[in-house]
Structure 1
Amino acid sequence: MASVNQLSVGWERCEWDASGQPMSRRERAESRGSYLASVPPDIAGLQFDVPSDVAAAAEDALIEVSRFDAELAASLPAADGELAPLAVVLLRTESASSSQIEGVTAGAKALAIATLNESSGQNARLVAANVDAMQKAIALADELSVDSILAAHRALMHDQSYARPGLVRDGQVWIGGGPTSHTATFVPPRQERVPALLEDLVAFCRRTDIPVLTQLSIAHAQFETIHPFNDGNGRTGRTLVHAMLRRSGVTRRLTVPLSAGLLTDTPAYFAALGSYREGDPAPIITQFSRAAFAAVGNGRWLVTDLIGIYDEWQQILPSRKGSAARRLLPHLLSQPAVTVAHVQQHLGVSQPAAQRAVDQLVGAEILKQISTGKRDRVWIAREVITALDDFAARTGRRS
């Protein structure tokens, strides 16, 4: 088993050149001389001595995630692929917590409208684009290679050149502190070490002799320690978590908001990363276990809400079975904003038939028009919007 000394990051002294950087006299004085950069250990071949209670809790959490994933197909009416609302709200939470767009939020209504490519706010368009990018990145990352990690980063950061999309960082980065690494909370390794460290991480991720939740917890902590990119590390690292869940067969239909749950208690999460860097992986495994239980509980709550909404719709909609209006109902659970053109394309019906379906749903008070005028009209399923916003509020609730 790996000892604490084997797992702990080492440190190396590096020279810092602050010439040409704008900063105050105090900052310049603090940044004189060399600084210490971390040297993470290779983990591909290590064995991890995890306390039995921590390992048992992780196994219970993983079983719960897998059970929830299986429940989803049986409990919800057929929608498009995985339950899109969970993916959307997950990305709303994930994206808002990422460094590049810290604080960017958009309600479920704005997100649903943004996915129609209709007029919407900048925040909603940004988060909707990140939802699409994350879904593509998870598909790219299923093979788990350095190239697929780079491809995931490229998909997530494709329009942000400063982040060098799809390329490892070309300079020193640091977490917290001021304009230099001297006062940082943590300094990741020098850029020259990153390629070899990523290769080692991928070799660790491909192992099949480590319990899945323990493995992805350690992989996440190691990725955050390496911090391989100029920006977008958080989102890319969370993609890796979801790809590992898919690769292991734990999830097949659902992007469980497991890693986003870590951020509901940020002090505990950052403390767990610190413990990992000091050689103790147990706290980060515990944080992932707690996040998994929270994510499943919240997800079940949302599914219950959506099933109740759907059952009520079935009762109040007067149109016959097989009608366009009834066939649209499951789709509204995953896309609660529609236009006539969207309905026409989704159902494969004529424009008049799509309009009749919308009119019937408006008459049953399932849909409500939110735009004015006769052109480019948008209708929303308000009850679904409310359920999604409630889900997001629970997911993002800080302890």
Structure 2
Amino acid sequence: MAAREQTGQFVNGSAVAGDTYQAYIPDPLPPSPPLDMSQLYPLLDQASTALGRLDGMSMVLPDSKLFLYMYVRKEAVLSSQIEGTQSSLSDLLLFETEEAPGAPIDDVTEVSCYVAAMNYGLDRLKEFPLSLRLIREIHAELMNNARGGDKQPGAFRKSQNWVGGTRPSRANYVPPPPETMGECLNAFELFLHDEKNRLPALIKAALAHVQFETIHPFLDGNGRLGRLLITFILCTEGILKEPLLYLSLYFKANRQAYYDHLQNVRETGDWEAWIEFFLDGVIDTANQATATARAIMDLFEADRFKIGESGKSTAAVLTIHTYLQSQPIANTGTIKEACNVSLPTVLRSLTALEELGIVREVTGKERNKVFVYQDYLSILSSGTEPIAR
């Protein structure tokens, strides 16, 4: 295979307040010369097997929608943390039940918008192809918050942006200037729908992610949207029946390697090293997600058995235990409405679950108490601790 030196060209950017810089314009995909797949096929096989196991779990889960509901929220927290938010999964769930989160409200609102953007994209993909138009629509949902309102939600940028540093000349990376970005985006959309180059879906997703991050077409939200694209592509290509694969935990744990690979692709054309890193992440993430699903199934079964053996297995206790599987943090008023039982019955049932060590009350208040399904939340929260700054 012929060597690649880089995957694009540097151009002189327009001076900003006398500040000269070089911006980068990527070559269209797929890479030229073609990828050397000889080292990638074994990893691709392992990744496909791991994805198959994960996809199979969605068929045996008692309620795959419940698992997906919580897993989407975990991904939203992780992807937003990479961009600097300090919100935890508990903060998001408290916010959604109209309780006060521990993190700044703007952080939690930002994560909540990520959930909305993800769900919007998944719904639209059922009837609409993955395209520049849809990417703009998803971006509008993502940026529908106080921080994103002045960052042109749903519109491709018309000014130069950059990554790192206080100005373009000192940046870690400067994406294409706005006057050349349209051509890059059109080529990107053609790649998404290219029927001539039938790359494996995982390879296609890996290439598309880097290209999107390299073009960086929005003023803000590029990282989060670029990570969402991975899952959207795998779903549209039919690799996943349910959108259960999210790589943000892997990228968060390997942040510097992730950034280094993106830059190495641009500077040296080393797509193969990036794809190896990406496939390792797919294997690791899919295996973790499968293990998480099994752990949750085992916990629910063990706790149902514990309730049955305790002699406290009333209809209300079982109903509330089932409800807490979809809302592991909930207040007494919400539980009362959702389960259609009286408040005294809710309190008696929660006391029974608390005595069994299944839930715990976290406010210490006399009224509007908040209960947490602690072991369940602990399984879901693994890896979502905010990044130390």
Shorter-normalised TM-score: what interval? 0.7 to 0.9
TM-superposed deviation, 1:384 = 1.5
Is 1:84–2:76 an aligned residue pair?
no
**What corresponds to 1:106 in structure 2?**
87
Q: 2:379 is matched with which residue?
A: 387
Deviation at 1:259, TM superposition (A): 4.3
Shift of 1:168: 0.8
Q: Which moved more, 1:154-163 or 1:348-357?
A: 348-357
| One-letter identity of the residue aligned with 1:12 | V
Distance change in 2, residues 1:109/1:40 (3 Å):
closer
* Selected match of 1:234 from 196, 208, 223: 223
Pairing partner for 1:169 from 147, 157, 162: 157
Q: How does 1:71-150 map to 2 (within 5 A)?
A: 71-74=57-60, 76-78=61-63, 80-98=65-83, 102=84, 104-121=85-102, 122=104, 125-126=108-109, 128-139=111-122, 142=125, 143-150=129-136
1:195 equivalent among 182, 187, 192:
182
Q: Describe the shift of the 1:309–1:213 C-alpha distance in structure 2 as closer, same or farther (beyond 3 A).
A: same
Counterpart of 1:173, as a letter, is N
Moved more, 284-293 or 220-229: 284-293
Name the SS for the 2:273 alignment partner: helix
Structure 1 residue runs without a partner (length 5+): 20-30
Report the Cα distance in structure 2 between the residues aligned to 1:373 and 1:259, rounded to whole angstroms: 36
Q: Is the 8 A contact 1:65 1:251 kept in 2?
A: yes
Amino acid at match of 1:65: L
What's the offset of the Cα at 1:81?
4.3
Q: For the residues of structure 1 that align with 2:344 and 2:54, how far apart are their CA atoms?
A: 40
Q: 2:238 aligns with which of 227, 246, 249?
A: 249
Percent identity, aligned pairs only?
22
Counterpart position of 1:23: none
Offset of 1:240 from its aligned partner?
A: 1.1
Structure-2 change in CA distance of 1:248 and 1:2 (3 Å): farther
1:209-228: CA deviation from partner (whole Å, max 9, x where unpaired): 11011101000010011000
Does the aligned pair in 2 maintain the 1:138–1:240 contact within 8 Å?
no
Structure 1 contact 256–296 (Cα < 8 Å) conserved = yes
CA contact (8 A) 2:323 2:339 kept: no
Q: Deviations over 1:366-398 (max 9, x none)?
A: 2222223343221111111222333436x989x
Change (3 A) 1:254 1:356: farther
Contact 1:241-1:259 at 8 Å conserved across structures: no
Distance 2:321 2:348 in 1: 14
1:35 positional shift: 2.1
2:296 alignment partner AA: L
Determine the structure 1 residue equivalent to 2:201: 212
Instruction: Identify if the C-alpha distance between structure 1 residues 63 and 13 changes in structure 2 by more than 3 Å, giving closer, same or farther.
Output: same
* Secondary structure of 1:317's aligned partner: helix
Q: Partners in 2 of 1:314 and 1:200 — Cα distance?
A: 54
Distance in 1 (alpha carbons) for counterparts of 2:258 and 2:64 = 34
Count of residue correspondences: 376
Corresponding letter in the other structure for 2:25: V
Match of 1:283 among 257, 273, 276: 273
Residues 293, 331 of structure 1: CA spacing in aligned structure 2 closer, same or farther, 3 A cutoff? farther
Gaps of 5+ in 2: none
Rounded Cα–Cα distance in structure 2 between residues aligned with 1:196 and 1:396: 36
1:56 equivalent to 2:42? Answer yes
Residue of structure 2 equivalent to 1:26: none
Amino acid at match of 1:184: A
Q: 1:96 to 1:327 in 2, by over 3 A?
A: same
Distance in 1 of aligned mates of 2:120 and 2:25? 28
- Is the Cα contact below 8 Å between 1:152 and 1:166 reproduced in 2? yes
